[in-house]
Structure 1
């Protein structure tokens, strides 16, 4: 790969700077099996053949079916491929739209026994003795202090169940607290051209030497804006002329902007389309000018 197209996780795992989020290879509402298993397996293999070396999953995706699918498609894993998974979320049903009214649909658990079981079962489903990168899926759990949850992952690392520790959906304060306990290799958060609410978390992450992996990196929907409003179109009006000038797609511009933002950013776009997969990887070849970067910077406020 060309310069700046790789990054090192935890000091010893070098991966490409555009990963693959496997979350959508599940059933409707992220529940159950992906309906076209053959297509999903082929897509995962194509991703690795195209140069993807970081694949992101979680035990909550399915639940469990996504990890099993990845094993079926890719095991034994090529030496350069890193599988990152997460634990600490539980699913009580398929209807994610009901979350606001029924907290039992999805929740966070931080009990040490649960996190230890989750990590071991993820390793079993993935077919590995040690998980390369294991995220605490949420900082929301209140059954156990956050610091105790991080300490549990640190213990799992000492026991050889996980290689590197990550954090997902946490605050900058939680990140600082976690770092006082153990080294954090990576942080995932919601950050893209239209949604900059976690800019502080991003800066805190990279300043401390960790990799930041934004999810939904090509979304053009600002926070609080429904998909049937003019919000996404307003963002697209800024990105589309830039894409046209480079003769590439709007998602490629969104990814190129993230790659230019920091050498420690590793977007993990999700797709079920081989065409979109290849298009996403084409962002490596896009170099934005200072004026273009400034125009995209102005699309959304940061906090």
Structure 2
């Protein structure tokens, strides 16, 4: 048997380190994303509304994305971005990071962080269905089963939450978050071709810059500018955490994890996100839970795992 050369051993070692680091990035990124709903709820407890909180989050995150975009485009080997791709990237920010985020935050005003996270988590099943409807991609029994499991899990958790909270607003809150998941699904569907042409980091940065513009217009129309200054100082801390810790850092971590370990493994690791949110919501926010909550979570995650498989 031929002994491996030093070069082969080093390559194998580097590959193993790259794989392990990719797994770590996926786990940490998933955990940071899971914190989002918790900090939104904490901010809501201070009396801030969805529009103001989204404005703080996006404008605090904006400098980071502008810097990343400038850093990437300042390299000598970068080709110019076509005007059509530039406009499309900025415009898609409306769907992916303005409309989806606004509906999501608004929904959290009516439902628990646990139910919100699980409902939003159904977007991979939505993407599969929309790709079949609009792009003619094949849909098989596995995907149909995945979609059925996802929404059965949400309905199961929704029914139990209504029983626990006795609130008529739960249905409205779920509808808002379903709208957020649908908006994000359209964003994913339409973003892929542009992302492949200009690169994921450039596209993400442009989409975030575009969405911040739409958020700013929304805020200027609906809220007095002075309201930004009339909030509890802790809200600014929550806004910064949402902007940097729960948005900027995990977005780049997850992208890098996809490069290192692949989209399928990253998606499977991301499946623990709702579980993490459930644990944090129970431990930090004191939200009620039950066997049906846990059962609905497990069923929906199982459904998403079917979509993630090739």
TM-score by length of 2: 0.24
TM-score by length of 1: 0.24
* Larger RCO (alpha carbons 8 Å, 6+ apart): 2
